[in-house]
Structure 1
Amino acid sequence: MKYKILASEKFEIPEPLQETVTIDVFDDLWRDETVLATTAKGYDALIVRNMTQVNSNLLEQLKSIKVIGRLGAGTENIDVDYANQCHIPIVYAPLQNTNAVAEFCVAQVFNAFRHLPDAIHEAKQGVWNREKYLSTGREISGCNVGVIGFGNIGKAFTQKMDALGANVLIYNRTPSNVTAAFHHTDLVNLLKSSDIISIHLPGGDKTKNFLHEGNIGLIKRGAFLMNSSRGGVVNETALLAALESGQLSGAMIDVRTVEPAYADALARHPNVYPTPHIAAFTLESQTAISESVVMDIIRVLQNKSPQYPVPVR
């Protein structure tokens, strides 16, 4: 039997599976819930990224959908509890983008410490200003890197920073999950001591505005802040204020509170390196994610246990 799968966002169909399933891809179907619900009629499964809001209203209308696949590790755009009530299991890819995001964060540390985007842009414009960068760069070796959140990605990033000679300080809401090889500290000490802070927290109500005006004010003056987790974790008004006051030297922002995000004051700030939520996007990670999610969808449709089911809360 060839199963019918609908993808509501851009999706590369894994070549080895093309003969097993029919996958219809609509890059922008996520924009209109009514159109999505209508289009989904007759399909066995739905594949989404982070833009499709799989809420209770949509789930009520997905009468033929037997399983939903999330291309990624986060599920805050899916009402998992209501899906469970509707007997629609969710499968996802919690591990497959770990290295891609960790490497992206390492690249952003180099960008921040060596001002690479600025230097590249100036050189392309014919500006040969070596003196500007004479003593502005920083070395990773010996600096303090603060990591907030020690899940799969936080751990992978920590290992890479440690290999580069950084002193890594870790704050995790469950301290016992931090392996003995690394140093766990309290949040206040991390904020006050770190030269660069990287956030690796899940989205949701428990982490909304985790960094806010009160604790952003504790960050070491001149430090950098990097967020590649979820936009709502950082209060953007407080972040912009810290940049404008000079407390923060810069910020690397891959995620925003509202996405898609456009050229607002935060994105336009000269000391912000904004990217459009691409930390997980590598050829290798997306191939692994796609194959894993589609294989798990097939397993569910065949009444088998998936490898990566979203835990029922």
Structure 2
Amino acid sequence: MSTPENHSVLQVGPLKTSLEQTLSESYGASLLPEDPSERAEFLSSHGARITAVVTSGRTGVDEELMSALPNLGAIVNFGVGYDTTDVDAAAARGVGVSNTPDVLTDCVADTAVGLTIDVMRGFSASDRYVRAGKWPASGNFPLTHQVSNRSVGIIGLGRIGSAIAKRLSAFGCAISYHNRTEKADVPYAYVSSPVELARRVDVLVIAAAGGSGTQRLVDAEVIEALGPSGYLVNIARGSVVDETALVAALVEGRLAGAGLDVFADEPNVPEALMGLDNVVLLPHVGSGTVETRAAMEALTLRNLDEFLASGRLITPVVEPAVAVTG
């Protein structure tokens, strides 16, 4: 397809290669320069013609960039997380924001379960043990811990949290959860605070959305409540956990282990975690399958197409204020 003449699309930050190619070839999208002086020159010359931005949770759009795009109507986000975009500023300006929910739920939930099994059973550590030639030299790998029939707490019982709960219920796990509000018609026990939830469970899984409202929600007190026999799994956002407190607890043996797909300052991972066999580290691959990323790309383009055609979005988290006519 081709973009209507009175619309202009801007790519902000790196995206999936095929999506970048489609944006460039089919929509005539420009790429926002990274160099500050080049960026300022681009925005001064072209900012007024931009009506739609395509970005991801890795980069997002802040209020300063919105200010430089006076005719911006929509921010189309590749991914379910959009905490790097200032949604309050977008809403105040009448700028719509969309994301790609649902299509990545299964893969992220699978990742959470995989991390839980891996960190509790020590599979990655066992693999390293074999590869290092330690099995014949040192004997059997140390015993680990059972996953089935354990108590699991989930922080954030949204789409992904619910999918995790469903999977771990099949393992015979007793599920409880903390949410901003108690959910009706779910078979899981509601706990009113993260601290109390951590105190009750063997495994604490973080599935809450990122953003200012959940910044360091899992703090030193929560980690302390989980305790030296507890495991923490995070597939949400690194910002939801006080990473300094988490690292200290792991290094000092005040936490049994952690499975982490997200970090506070990606792609940088705390050096202190690198040598710990009771920590599984993944490079933010929760939705990283061919099938899911293709579905995310398709939904991103559907949102962009719908905005360019009608001024609406397919999966809005903030509705555009004014319809755009092509």
Q: TM-score range by the shorter chain?
A: 0.7 to 0.9
Out of 83, 104, 112, the residue aligned to residue 97 of structure 1 is 104
| 1:6-85 to 2 correspondences below 5 Å | 6-7=10-11, 8-13=13-18, 21-22=26-27, 31-32=34-35, 35-36=38-39, 38=42, 44-63=51-70, 65-85=72-92
Report SS of the residue matched to 2:76. Answer: strand
> Structure 2 length normalisation: TM-score?
0.83
- Equivalent pair of 1:5/1:43 in contact (CA under 8 Å): yes
In structure 2, the CA distance between the partners of 1:112 and 1:262, relative to structure 1 (3 Å rule), is closer
Cα separation, 1, equivalents of 2:213 and 2:313: 28
Cα separation, 2, equivalents of 1:263 and 1:278: 18
Opposite residue 146 of structure 1, the aligned amino acid is G
In structure 2, the CA distance between the partners of 1:192 and 1:18, relative to structure 1 (3 Å rule), is closer
Q: Show the counterpart of 1:133.
A: 141
- Identity score, percent: 26
Cα separation, 2, equivalents of 1:34 and 1:94: 35
| 1:251-270 to 2 correspondences below 5 Å | 251-270=258-277
In structure 2, the CA distance between the partners of 1:193 and 1:23, relative to structure 1 (3 Å rule), is farther
Out of 129, 145, 162, the residue aligned to residue 169 of structure 2 is 162
User: Offset at 1:69?
Assistant: 0.9
Task: Say which is worse superposed, 4-13 or 98-107, in terms of deviation.
Answer: 4-13
Cα separation, 2, equivalents of 1:131 and 1:185: 43
Task: Say which is worse superposed, 49-58 or 6-15, in terms of deviation.
Answer: 6-15
User: Offset at 1:245?
Assistant: 2.4
In structure 2, the CA distance between the partners of 1:180 and 1:90, relative to structure 1 (3 Å rule), is closer
Opposite residue 15 of structure 2, the aligned amino acid is K
Cα separation, 2, equivalents of 1:312 and 1:19: 25
Q: Show the counterpart of 1:197.
A: 204
Q: Show the counterpart of 2:323.
A: none
Q: Show the counterpart of 1:209.
A: 216
Task: Say which is worse superposed, 102-111 or 37-46, in terms of deviation.
Answer: 37-46
User: Offset at 1:21?
Assistant: 3.0
User: Offset at 1:261?
Assistant: 1.2
- Is 1:183 aligned to residue 189 of structure 2? yes
Q: Show the counterpart of 1:289.
A: 296
- Equivalent pair of 1:10/1:25 in contact (CA under 8 Å): no
User: Offset at 1:172?
Assistant: 1.7
Report SS of the residue matched to 2:100. Answer: coil
- Equivalent pair of 2:19/2:297 in contact (CA under 8 Å): yes
What is the RMSD of the two structures over their aligned residues, measured on CA atoms?
Answer: 2.9
Cα separation, 2, equivalents of 1:33 and 1:91: 27
Q: Show the counterpart of 2:2.
A: 2
Unaligned runs of 5+ in 2: 321-326
- Equivalent pair of 1:222/1:246 in contact (CA under 8 Å): no
Opposite residue 276 of structure 1, the aligned amino acid is P
Unaligned runs of 5+ in 1: none
Q: Show the counterpart of 1:234.
A: 241
User: Offset at 1:122?
Assistant: 2.1
User: Offset at 1:34?
Assistant: 5.5
User: Offset at 1:278?
Assistant: 1.6
Report SS of the residue matched to 1:305. Answer: coil
Cα separation, 1, equivalents of 2:311 and 2:126: 53
Q: Note the alpha carbon deviations across 1:248-269, whole angstroms, 9 max, x for none.
A: 1111122122222145224444
- Equivalent pair of 2:24/2:30 in contact (CA under 8 Å): no
> Structure 1 length normalisation: TM-score?
0.87
User: Offset at 1:225?
Assistant: 0.6
User: Offset at 1:156?
Assistant: 0.5
Q: Show the counterpart of 2:95.
A: 88
- Is 1:122 aligned to residue 124 of structure 2? no
- Equivalent pair of 1:91/1:297 in contact (CA under 8 Å): no
Report SS of the residue matched to 1:47. Answer: strand
- Equivalent pair of 1:148/1:170 in contact (CA under 8 Å): yes
In structure 2, the CA distance between the partners of 1:101 and 1:240, relative to structure 1 (3 Å rule), is same
Count of matched residue pairs? 308
- Equivalent pair of 1:66/1:301 in contact (CA under 8 Å): no
Q: Show the counterpart of 2:253.
A: 246
In structure 2, the CA distance between the partners of 1:296 and 1:11, relative to structure 1 (3 Å rule), is same
Cα separation, 1, equivalents of 2:115 and 2:317: 30
Opposite residue 141 of structure 2, the aligned amino acid is Y
